[in-house]
């Protein structure tokens, strides 16, 4: 393979299929933004199928689409700390600590503002309906998204005992296999494109379990299974995986769901929050 992915595409361009050339042309014209796309978004924007994209990646000697995104990100201009240098939030080692603080703050504010713009009141209401009516709510996520699932469980645990957090992907699919139509999955997946989560969501669909998905990509594979899709802001590139600003937007969504849930039965919620606060207070010195 050539020294960077764009050179490799150029070298193979004349041997590509018609759809391969169409995809290559799109990538050349949108190199900077394509690294942020899910495979479904790239397929929609470029006008080729997901299968064609997968074959395109394999033809370049890559294991799959995620490897392609990472290779594409490495062709962009990055700082010595792996941040995009043309981004106002890109951090370099030469930045002073105060400059780094300012950039982190700007990125977090950007994430909050973008998530707020994407908030759909009808979608939140529908999600709250499902949460209120559920016997159990399973909070799932893989990798960095597992942390967000735990945050949701911890937040709702102050007001109800019906939320359950399961971190291991095998245990997630086992719990889903035993779930009923009275249960709900609250799933966090920034990319919406991980195999473990897709397997779990497929089982949920077969058992009639409702799914609330928090993701950045409305047309992701996971979104195809969801009853409600809630979108978080902030473009997280392959080299910025696990970024805090991407999580800040998801925290906003968790709190919107939490207060939407509590306002449906304010007296019971207030009593539960008071009881849990008093219980924890005994552990404080």
Which of the listed residues 56, 75, 94 is the one where a domain comes to its end? 75
Same domain as 218, residue 151: yes
pTM, rounded to two decimals? 0.79
Q: How far apart are CA 194 and CA 207, in angstroms?
A: 20
**CA nearest to 240, candidates 89, 98, 93, 136:** 89
pLDDT in tens, 88-101: 567 888 889 999 99
Do you know the residue count of the chain?
285
In a domain, 167, yes or no: yes
CA 157 to chain centroid, in Å, comes to 22
Same domain as 169, residue 31: no
Same domain as 122, residue 70: no
Which of the listed residues 75, 95, 119 is the one where a domain comes to its end? 75
| Enclosing domain of residue 52 | 5-75
In a domain, 105, yes or no: no
Which of the listed residues 30, 58, 75 is the one where a domain comes to its end? 75
Model pLDDT, residue 262: 97
Same domain as 252, residue 147: yes
In a domain, 125, yes or no: yes
In a domain, 88, yes or no: no
Same domain as 126, residue 62: no
In a domain, 60, yes or no: yes
CATH of the domain at 33: 1.10.10.10
Strand partners, 167: none
Same domain as 234, residue 154: yes
Model pLDDT, residue 2: 45
Strand order in the sheet with 137-141: 163-165, 137-141, 184-188, 210-215, 228-231
Same domain as 196, residue 121: yes
Q: Is 117 exposed, middle or buried (0-12, 13-18, 19+ CB in 10 A)?
A: exposed
Which residue is it, tokens 């397997």?
A: 199
Q: What is the DSSP string of 152-216?
A: HHHHHTTT-S-EEE--SHHHHHHHHHT--TT-EEEEE-SSS--HHHHHHHHHHHHTT-EEEEEES
Same domain as 200, residue 133: yes
In a domain, 193, yes or no: yes
Reading the chain (285 residues) residue by residue, the pLDDT tens digits are: 445 888 889 888 888 999 999 999 999 888 878 888 888 889 999 999 999 999 999 999 999 998 998 888 777 656 666 665 556 567 888 889 999 999 999 999 999 999 999 999 999 999 999 999 999 999 999 988 999 999 999 999 999 999 999 999 999 999 999 999 999 999 999 988 888 999 999 999 999 999 999 999 888 889 999 999 999 988 776 666 678 999 999 999 999 999 999 999 999 999 999 999 999 999 988
Contact between 107 and 234 (Cβ < 8 Å): yes
In a domain, 253, yes or no: yes
Number of compact structural domains in the chain: 2
Same domain as 269, residue 129: yes
CATH of the domain at 197: 3.40.50.10490
Same domain as 126, residue 44: no
Same domain as 56, residue 174: no
Model pLDDT, residue 1: 41
Same domain as 250, residue 119: yes
Model pLDDT, residue 117: 96
Model pLDDT, residue 201: 97
Q: How far apart are CA 168 and CA 154, in angstroms?
A: 17
Contact between 245 and 126 (Cβ < 8 Å): no
Three-class DSSP category at 17: coil
In a domain, 256, yes or no: yes
Model pLDDT, residue 84: 59
- Which stretches of the chain are assigned E, i.e. beta strand? 137-141, 163-165, 184-188, 210-215, 228-231
């Amino acid at each position: 393979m050539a020294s960077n992915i764009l050179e490799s595409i150029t070298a193979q361009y004349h041997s590509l299929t018609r759809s391969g050339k169409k995809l290559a042309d799109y990538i050349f014209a949108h190199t900077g933004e394509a690294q942020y796309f899910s495979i479904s978004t790239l397929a929609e924007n470029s006008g080729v199928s997901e299968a064609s994209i997968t074959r395109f990646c394999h033809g370049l000697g890559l294991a799959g689409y995620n490897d392609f995104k990472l290779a594409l990100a490495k062709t962009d201009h990055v700082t010595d700390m792996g941040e995009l240098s043309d981004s106002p939030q890109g951090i370099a080692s030469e930045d002073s600590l105060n400059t780094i603080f300012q950039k982190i703050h700007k990125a977090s504010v950007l994430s909050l503002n973008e998530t707020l713009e994407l908030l759909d009141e009808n979608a939140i209401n529908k999600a709250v309906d499902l949460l209120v009516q559920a016997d159990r709510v399973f909070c799932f996520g893989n990798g960095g998204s597992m942390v967000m699932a735990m945050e949701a469980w911890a937040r709702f645990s102050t007001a109800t005992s019906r939320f359950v957090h399961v971190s291991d992907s095998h245990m997630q699919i086992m719990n889903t296999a035993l779930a009923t139509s009275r249960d709900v999955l609250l799933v966090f997946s920034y990319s919406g494109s991980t195999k473990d989560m897709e397997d779990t969501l497929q089982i949920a669909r077969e058992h009639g379990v409702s799914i609330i998905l928090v993701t950045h990509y409305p047309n992701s594979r996971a979104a195809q299974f969801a009853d409600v899709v809630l979108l978080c802001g902030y473009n997280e590139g392959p080299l910025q995986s696990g970024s805090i600003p991407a999580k800040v937007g998801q925290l906003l969504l968790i709190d919107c769901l939490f207060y939407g849930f509590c306002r449906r039965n304010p007296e019971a919620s207030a009593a539960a929050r008071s009881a849990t606060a008093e219980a924890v207070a005994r552990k404080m010195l």
